[in-house]
Amino acid sequence: MLIVFFRAIILYALVIFSIRLMGKRQIGELQPSELVITILLSNIATLPIEDTTIPMATGIIPMLTLVSLDVIMSALTLRSRKLRQMVSGSPKVIISNGVIDQKQMKKLRYSVDDLMESLHDYNIFDINEVQYAIVETTGKISVMQKNDYSPITPSDIELYSESKNPPQILIDDGVIMHGAIDFLGLDMKFINETLSKNKVDASDVFLMSCDEDKNYKLIKKEDLN
Amino acid sequence: MKRLILCVTILVIIITGSVLSLFLINNKNQQLIKTIDSITEFAEDRKTDQALEKIDEFSRSWKKYYICVSFLVESSCLEDISASCSKLKALLLKDSEELYSECETIKYGITLIYNNEFPYLHSIF
């Protein structure tokens, strides 16, 4: 039993390492090759956990090989557009100028239901509202609405304002986030001054966020006892 | 870029490790087969003491080898060889003909370890 326990711990760590190695994109939208790797990884990892007669190497080596090949393949596809198209395919336009390309939809084996379901994700319930729709290589449909139905943006009404980065969390549950302080171009002096102004120690702060203009929000820890 | 270098390094380590392990298995197998051959030779010549000495030598080498090779090979294959190995002494002292067949079983098992690891075309497909 202990063998299975230790193997499960090792392979758990290895699967996490492998997924991290594949990069953030892996967690969100899967390319065809990444989907294959993800399915294979989960299967390969379970074999040595269940069967103690199988050496761990039989699980570890194929996992690392597959992930490494995937990363190398991604690097190669970044350099070659042809290879990228071979491995991941290319995006296909299914609605252009408001007209559905039925031939393309048939080719992609996309039903009207699939299309409508994807449009609902964009809060579009009338197909007349769609100007352009494209099936991405991940299989996700991206939609552009006709101008008449698009929400008004500040630039439409010539309301111009400076774009700013969102506020950053500077203290998270008593821990000072030095990366965020550097990102905002602040220093510890500002933090210490703010803390002393609010008569609180960093360890007693539940959350402190701040933007580039030094507008901050500080929430003290509650006494839960 | 760091990720790519890490992956290439992992692949190089895996390939090098696999090739080295094949050499190691082949080398050790030759040694073990030689010891088994000398056991059968001594047994045939009725040199029981020397044969017993060789059996002890083989058992010691096998135990060490078992630990190394169990990282690479399914333990069920190794258990069969260990079982045959434990019978050798008793069979020699009983002066049984079965000793030779057990020695052949061990030799076959040891050869099988290498053959199962070597990437022959038929084993890949």
> What pLDDT is recorded for position A109?
85
B78 to chain A: nearest residue by CA? A53
pLDDT of residue A177: 92
By the 10 Å C-beta count (0-12 exposed, 13-18 middle, 19+ buried), A135 is classed as buried
Element (H or E) spanning A61, and its range? helix A57-79
Measured CA to CA in angstroms, residue A40 lies from A21, A59, B15 at distances of 15, 11, 20
Distance from CA of B49 to the nearest CA of A (A): 36
pLDDT, tens only, B13-47: 988 988 898 899 999 999 999 999 888 888 888 78
A53 Cβ under 8 Å from any chain B Cβ: yes
Instruction: Give the pLDDT score at A207.
Output: 94
Candidates A50, A52, A53: best to mutate against B (most CBs of B within 10 A) is A53
- Which residues, in sequence order, are CB contacts of B67 under 8 Å at separation 6+? none
Are B11 and A71 in contact (CB < 8 Å)? no
**So what's the pLDDT on residue A46?**
84
Q: Three-class SS of residue A169?
A: strand
Q: What is the pTM of this model?
A: 0.68
pLDDT at A24: 56
Q: Can you give the pLDDT at residue A206?
A: 93
CATH entry 3.30.240.20 includes domain A168-220: yes
Please report, as a single letter, which amino acid is at residue A66: L
Residues of A in contact with B72 (CB under 8 A): 55, 57
Locate the domains of chain A by residue range.
2-86, 92-149, 168-220
Residue with token string 């497909």? B125
Of B14, B73, B76, the CB nearest to A65: B14
- Within 10 angstroms of residue A158's Cβ, the number of other Cβ atoms is 6
ipTM of predicted assembly, 2 dp: 0.77
Which single residue is written with the structure tokens 């506020």?
Answer: A167
Which residues are within 8 A (CB) of A38 and not within 5 positions of it... i.e. 6 or more apart? A19, A26, A30
Q: Of A129, A209, A130, A197, give the one whose Cα is nearest residue A167.
A: A209
**Contact B74/A at CB under 8 A:** yes
pLDDT computed for residue A1 by the predictor: 62
Whole-angstrom Cα distance, residue B8 to residue A186? 39
Confirm or reject contact between A99 and chain B (CB < 8 A).
no
DSSP secondary-structure letter at A213? Answer: T
For chains A and B, count residue pairs whose Cβ atoms are closer than 8 Å. Answer: 42
Query: Which of A14, A25, A16 is CA-nearest to residue A74?
Result: A25
Cα A132 to Cα A95: distance, rounded to the nearest angstrom: 5
Token pair of A154, please?
Answer: 């500040």
| pLDDT at residue A26, as a whole number | 46
Q: How far A169 CA lies from chain B's nearest CA (Å)?
A: 28
Pairing of strands A130-135, A92-96: antiparallel
Query: What span, in angstroms and rounded, lies between the C-alpha atoms of A179 and A172?
Result: 12
Asked if A92-149 and A168-220 have one fold, the answer is yes
Per residue of chain A (225 residues), what is the pLDDT tens digit?
A: 666 667 777 877 777 777 777 665 544 567 777 777 888 888 888 888 878 788 888 888 888 888 888 888 888 888 888 888 877 778 889 999 999 999 998 988 888 898 898 899 889 999 999 999 998 887 788 999 998 888 888 888 888 888 888 899 999 999 999 999 999 998 899 999 999 999 999 999 999 999 988 899 999 988 766
Question: Which residues in chain A have Cβ-Cβ distances shorter than 8 Å to B4?
Answer: 71-72, 75
DSSP symbol at A200: -
Q: Residue B7 and residue B16: Cα distance in Å, rounded?
A: 14
Contact state of B7 with A68 under an 8 Å Cβ cutoff:
yes
B101-109: Cβ within 8 A, 24+ apart: B103/B36, B103/B39, B103/B40, B105/B80, B105/B81, B106/B32, B106/B36, B106/B81, B107/B33, B107/B36, B109/B77, B109/B80, B109/B81, B109/B84
* Distance separating alpha carbons of residues A112 and A133, to the nearest angstrom: 13
Amino acid identity, residue A204?
A: D
Find the angle CA(A47)-CA(A49)-CA(A51) to the nearest 5 degrees. 65
- Closest partner residue to B74 (CB to CB) among A21, A54, A68 is A54
- CA-to-CA distance for B97 and B81, rounded, in angstroms? 18
Question: The domain A92-149: what is its CATH number?
Answer: 3.30.240.20
Tell me whether residues A55 and B6 touch, CB distance under 8 A: no
Distance between first and last Cα of chain A: 40
pLDDT, position B88: 84
Mean per-residue pLDDT for B71-78? Answer: 82
